[in-house]
Structure formats: C-alpha cells, structure tokens
C-alpha cells in the first residue's frame, strides 16, 4: 500500500489523534521500554509509536523507525529528525542479528505481504532476552463504526470499494492470529485484548480522514465523496455524541514475546 506525502500528512494530522494516538503508550508499556535501550519500530508510519518510545529511552538510547512508504517517512523525519528513519521491507529488515533490545510494531502487520517472514525478521534482529510487542486491530465485527462504514461503502459503491477498509481488521480473529504466531515459530507469545475508542470531530471529518488519509486514499472522486458524506450523515448517526463528535469502540490485540533465542 503506497501512500503519498499528502496522504501521510492527513494521516498524521487526523488519523493519529482519532484512532492511533491512544495506543503508543500501551505498546511501550507492553514492551517495557526503558532508558538507554535500542528500539526498532517496524511499519512506523509517520512515527507516533517511535516518538513515544524515544521519550522513554532518552538521550542514552536510540530509536529506529522503518517503513515501506516514503511519504510516511517524509512526515516522520519532519516531526522527529533525531530518530533514525529507514525505508525498507519488514520481510527483509536491513539490520544485523540481535541489533535491538526491543522491537515494536503498531497496526502494520496486517498489511505485510509475508506476515510470517516479517515476524521472523523482527525476532532475528531482537537480542536474546529482548521483547517483541505488536499491536493489531480486533475484528471488524467488534469495531462497530467501521463495520457500519463498510456496509455503507458496499451499498453506495460496491464491495470492491469497501474492501480496503476490511484490511486493517484481517487479523482480529484470535485463532487466526494464533495460527500466524505459531507459523512464525512463536507459540509462547502472549496476547491481550485491550479496549479503545475511535474519536472524530464530526461525521464529515471522519469520512474525510478515511478517504484522504488511510486505506481508502484516492478511491473516490469529489462527487462520490459528497454522496458518501450525505449518506453517512444519516446512516452513521448512532455514533454521534451530543456535541456532534463521533465516538465508537475500537479494540486491539497486543502480542508480546520475550526472545529466548
């Protein structure tokens, strides 16, 4: 999934506070990030998790972020030039074995072409005794706001238009996720489901962010977007609060593993 600089800027400005911003502290806590450590953030996006980790490792530590998308990395470098940003594939990490104390990844594994290989690569670069912490979204069924958007997009524009919004939730099923971890050689990894809440200023802002800053980027033209907003204003009212803002449940699974290799 290639995202331009423009899409990445929308992602950072709108999606990070709406959907992703509450999770870096949780992932950092799960990984037990401490001062002076070497941390790798895989599929770092615009760097929200890496920036949080950098606060914990302090000046004696080092955080490295890797992402496939140049657009995301441009924004990441602008936001935090002191972090070491790298462009590359999760399936072939450009780092030596045992190079990091901790490896973290927030909401990226679902998009990898070879998830088993990517997880194995994360373990390869993790030193013995180091910790791996990965966050993935729960199922679409457990994320009612986006389940409703998928239904709306399917009705308005067809199943293909809605397919992109299913992708982030493809590992939400716990048995499927366990199968993936077993295939990657991590049968002892632990999994904890944590609740979360997605929040947007309004329905229009929610739709704008989806269409211009995430998995649906560049899929609808202006006329189609106007049609979507008009329908969403009516059909997504159950998620609107008294002040006009939007809120809905958005849980995720956090997987952790201490590397004994």
Whether 223 maps to a domain, the answer reads no
> Model confidence over 108-124: pLDDT tens digits?
999 999 999 999 999 99
Does residue 24 sit within a domain?
yes
8 Å CB contact between 41 and 100: no
pLDDT of residue 221: 85
Stretches in the chain below the pLDDT threshold 50 = none
pTM of the model: 0.94
User: In terms of residue numbers, what domain contains 21?
Assistant: 5-140+168-198+250-258
Structural domain contains residue 70: yes
Predicted pLDDT at 4? 67
Q: Would you state the pLDDT for residue 3?
A: 58
DSSP string of 97-149, one letter each residue: TT-EEEEEEES-GGG-SSHHHHHHHHHHTEEEEEEEEEEEE--GGG-HHHHHH
**Total count of domains within the chain:** 1
Q: 213 lies in a domain?
A: no
Per-residue pLDDT tens over the stretch 37-61: 999 999 999 999 999 999 999 999 9
Residue 153: which residues within 8 A CB-CB, separation 6 or more?
161, 162, 165, 216, 228
* pLDDT for the residue numbered 261: 57
In a domain, 245, yes or no: no
* CA pair distance 37, 168, nearest whole angstrom: 30
> According to the model, what pLDDT value does residue 7 have?
77
The CATH code of the domain that includes 135 is 3.40.50.150
Neighbouring-strand partners of residue 126: 100
Residue 66: its pLDDT value, please?
A: 98
Is 218 inside any structural domain? no
Sign of CA dihedral 214, 81, 91, 42: negative
CA distance 220 to 109: 26
| Within a domain: 149 | no
């Amino acid at each position: 999934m290639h995202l331009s600089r423009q899409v990445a800027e929308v992602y950072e400005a709108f999606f990070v506070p709406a959907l992703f911003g509450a999770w870096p502290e949780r992932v950092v806590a799960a990984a037990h990030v401490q001062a002076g450590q070497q941390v790798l953030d895989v599929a770092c996006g615009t760097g929200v998790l890496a920036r949080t980790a950098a606060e914990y490792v302090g000046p004696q530590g080092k955080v490295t972020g890797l992402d496939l998308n140049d657009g995301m990395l441009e924004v990441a470098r602008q936001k935090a030039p002191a972090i070491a940003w790298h462009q590359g594939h999760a399936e072939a990490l450009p780092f030596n074995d045992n190079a990091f104390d901790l490896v973290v990844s927030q909401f990226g594994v679902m998009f990898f072409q070879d998830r088993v290989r990517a997880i194995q690569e994360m373990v390869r670069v993790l030193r013995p005794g180091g910790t791996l912490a990965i966050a993935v979204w729960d199922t679409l069924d457990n994320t009612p706001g986006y389940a409703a958007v998928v239904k709306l997009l399917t009705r308005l524009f067809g199943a293909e238009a809605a397919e992109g919004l299913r992708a982030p939730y493809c590992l939400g099923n716990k048995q499927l996720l366990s199968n993936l971890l077993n295939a990657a050689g991590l049968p002892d990894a632990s999994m904890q489901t944590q609740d979360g809440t997605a929040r947007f200023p309004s329905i229009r802002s929610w739709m704008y962010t989806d269409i211009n800053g995430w998995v649906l980027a560049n899929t609808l033209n202006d006329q189609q977007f106007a049609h979507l907003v008009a329908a969403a204003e009516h059909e997504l009212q159950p998620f609107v609060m008294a002040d006009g803002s939007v809120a809905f449940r958005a849980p995720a699974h956090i997987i952790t593993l201490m590397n004994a290799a």
